[in-house]
Amino acid sequence: MHTQHSYWQLFKAVYTKDVTLAFRQRAEIFNPLLFFVIVITLFPLAIGPEPALLSRMAPGIIWVAALLSTMLGLDKLFKEDYLDGSLEQLIASPYPLSLSVVAKVAAHWTISGLPMVLLSPLFALLMNLEQQALGATVLTLLVGTPLLSLIGGIGAGLTVGLQKGGLLLSLLVLPLYIPVLIFATSAIDTSMMSLAYGGQLAILGAMLAIGLVSAPFAISSALRVSVS
């Protein structure tokens, strides 16, 4: 009979394994973050250093960069486990596959999403984002990037058995990212007008709550279909 302690031990083992492997392969951590930095630093060079223009475009630029950076590591989310056979072991395990899925998605967010959240104030200042919008930028990324990882996990589960599933993964995931992008940038735009942005943030929070409840089961079903 499984106990809460044994469930926690499984979650911890899967999460620790993925994070440890990512630190051993430094590119897993630095590639998404480096891409995020490059995209944000190239925009001022491309559109000019005019402060008003940069400030107006900053919410969209930051969030598009975060979205694309999150997608970089999605193709490998379950791929290595699929290739070495450990994914089949997780599926055959008496423990719920959804628990292992949550641990792997949490590790993906820790590696790709959390660094972007921590560095976002610096890049917001680089884009001349107004002071009152800094908090909104951090909050939308803190709530929105885990949702991006959860949605991306569904696409990664569906394409894990394909030889070159990166393009198909992008086509599957990008349309589902659009609502997150719309509400996140809307919250930052609203904060720049010194208006309350709690409504947009609440919608993002509700989407994250729905994702936390439903996405692990959707990913588990997708993995079972792909592996069978």
Which of 44-58, 88-102, 157-171, 173-187: highest mean pLDDT?
Answer: 173-187
Q: Is the pLDDT of residue 154 over 90?
A: yes
Contacts of 27 (CB under 8 A, 6+ apart): none
- Average pLDDT over every residue of 14-37: 83
- Average pLDDT over every residue of 109-123: 90
- Average model confidence (pLDDT) for the chain? 88
Contacts of 54 (CB under 8 A, 6+ apart): 43, 44, 47, 127, 128
* pLDDT at residue 28, as a whole number: 67
* pLDDT at residue 6, as a whole number: 84
Task: Specify the higher pLDDT residue, 10 or 215.
Answer: 215
Quick: pLDDT tens for 178-210.
999 999 999 999 999 889 999 999 999 999 999
Q: Say how far apart CA 92 and CA 90 lie, in whole Å.
A: 5
